[in-house]
Every structure is written in C-alpha cells, then in structure tokens.
Amino acid sequence: MKKLRIGLIGVGGIAQGRHLPAFQSLKDSCVITAVSDVNSERAQEVAAKYQIDNVYENYLDMFDKVDAVCICTPNKFHAEITIAALEAGVHVLCEKPMALSSDECQQMLEASKRTNKVLAIAYHYRFMKASQAAKQFMQEVGTPLVTRVQALRRRKVPGWGVFTNKSLQGGGSLIDYGCHLLDLAIWLMGSPKHISVNGSAYNALSKTPNSVNQWGTFDHETFDVDDHVTAYIKFENGASLLLEASWAANILDDKEHVSISGTEGGISVFPLELYTAKNGMLLNTQAAWVSGEDDPGVAQAKNFIDACQGNAELVVKPEEALQVSQIIDEIYYSDEAGK
C-alpha cells in the first residue's frame, strides 16, 4: 500500500516530543513530507533535524504535498486549520483539546462529515497500555456507577510558551491537562450522554506574587487561566463523575487517577487493578504485565494512519472529543455563573 504523506503544522514541543518521532518510527506506512510553523527559523531547524524536504511558513501551501496533517498549534487555531485541511481533501490528526470551544468543535465535525475525511483528536491517554487493558476489563465492572478522576500536579504550572494565555488556549489546568483523564474516563464508561455539570475553577495560588513553581516562571499579574478545577458531572444513565484537575495543588505528590465503581466490580487504571466480589471473597487483581505498544504516541499515530487508509476505526472519534469539550465549556460556565 502507498505510504501516507504526512505534514506537521506547528513544530514546537508536542510535535518534536511526540508526533514527529512517532510518525518517523512508522516508516513502512508513512513519510513526513512537510512541516509548517509561523516561526520559519524553527521550522527550518526541525526540517533539517528530521530530514524533511518541504518547509512552509503558511500551512495552506503544504496541502498539495500531503495526504494528512498533524496539527500542533495553540488551541485557538485548531478549528481554522482543521477545517481548511479537510476542505482541501486532507485527513487531520489534531492535538487535544479539539478546539477552543465546543461550537468550533461542532464546525470541525461537520467539515469532516462533509468532506468524508478522517478527523482524529490526540487524546493519547486512551492508547496507554493500561488504558487499553482497562477497556477490555469493563465487562467485569458491569454498569458504571461512580467514576473518580484526578489529574493533579504539585506546583507545576507550565511557565513557558502559551499555556497561561487564555486567549490562545481557552483555559488552564482543565483544558490542558485534566481533559486527558476526563476523556479517558468517559471513554471507559462507554461515552454516556451527560445531563448536568457543576464546576468550580481557581487560580488564587498562581495569582500570588513569588509563588514557588517547579516548571519555569510566569507573570502572576497577567495569569488569567485556572490552575485548579473541580467538577461533579451527572450522566443520562444515572452515573456520576467526580473530577479534580490542577497544575498547582498543595499536595504530597503528583497524582493521575481514574477509577470506576460499577454494579459488578471496580477498576483503577494507574496502576491497573480490578476489584471484584466472588464466592464469598473480595478479590483484588493486579496486572503483572500488559501487552501492547509502550509508546502511546506511536500507537496513536498507527491508528490514525490505519484509519486514513481504511484499515481501522478511530480509537478517538471526533464526536467523543466534542463531548469532552462541551463538558469543559460547561465547567467553566458553571464557575462563572455560579450555578
């Protein structure tokens, strides 16, 4: 089968740290033919490092050189670039979150349907081995009742790039970090429809002068995004989800936690454990070894390539990513409206 020609739009940290190495590791099925970045010097440097032939400052100029693109820009530009690529007949893998707002996500989804091109969203936590195994175990859990999600970092506000800029990113710890585990949890639950959201957002800690931070420096006076968020989400099937996300929590250690209590058992993803009650006993099952691709970025890239070539279904469907963005919008709105 002909190799998929791939272009990267935005060649900053996430492109160089995950997507470029992932696609280049799949040389039998794809080839990176172009990169684009508004910083032309950086684009030239990355192209030279990865031996990529075509370099563009304007992403529109690359579409005749590629079959698919991976979008790694600030959130503000996700929808605009995605729709332009789809309309040009190019498949899209877009970094998370899907877009700045759920309205923009809906426009992206409609463009994908209209053009019949693949639109994938890079929620790579679904591709972790423990996550894939947990999905297989959900029948042991039965009907999900209560889900708990924690995406917590201790004093690690990303003090570089655009992460603390609301106009470019749309938010902070929730839309940047918490969205990953929120997406994973809802996927494991079977993607039920949500019916209500109660959320609170905080940034008092990061607005404090001279606050201790492990990840770079930022201006506390211009800091205008959330550094800590809590939410309670109810679903149409009666299930509920408790969410906490933070860049700057005053806690002992960083914590990534997704657990689901169901009618038949319970499951925790990090580490992978299954909790059941059988034959008069309470049983805890731990995974000693889990098969699969060690690098979730590679597994994600492979699924995208296979979907573009008609050989697989997307693991992350755009309709599911849209729901995550809807919930994020509603958490922020709930906080602002106080209801």
Model pTM?
A: 0.97
CB contact set of 35 (below 8 Å; sequence gap of 6+): 7, 8, 9, 11, 43, 46, 47, 50, 52, 54, 55, 56
DSSP for residue 75: G
DSSP-derived secondary structure for 238-288: S-EEEEEEESS--SSS-EEEEEEEESSEEEETTTTEEEEEETTEEEEEE-S
Res 228: pLDDT: 98
Per-residue model confidence as pLDDT tens for the chain (339 residues): 799 999 999 999 999 999 999 999 999 999 999 999 999 999 999 999 999 999 999 999 999 999 999 999 999 999 999 999 999 999 999 999 999 999 999 999 999 999 999 999 999 999 999 999 999 999 999 999 999 999 999 999 999 889 999 999 999 999 999 999 999 999 999 999 999 999 999 999 999 999 999 999 999 999 999 999 999 999 999 999 999 999 999 999 999 999 999 999 999 999 999 999 999 999 999 989 999 999 999 999 999 999 999 999 999 999 999 999 999 999 999 999 999
All structural domains of the chain, each given as residue ranges with its CATH number in brackets, are 4-122+296-315 (3.40.50.720), 126-292 (3.30.360.10)
Res 120: pLDDT: 98
Q: How many CB atoms lie within 10 A of CB 32?
A: 23
H helix or E strand, kind and range, residue 166 = helix 166-169
Q: Are 79 and 107 in contact (CB under 8 A)?
A: yes
Three-state DSSP class for residue 24: helix
For strand 265-268 and strand 273-278, is the pairing parallel, antiparallel, or unpaired?
antiparallel
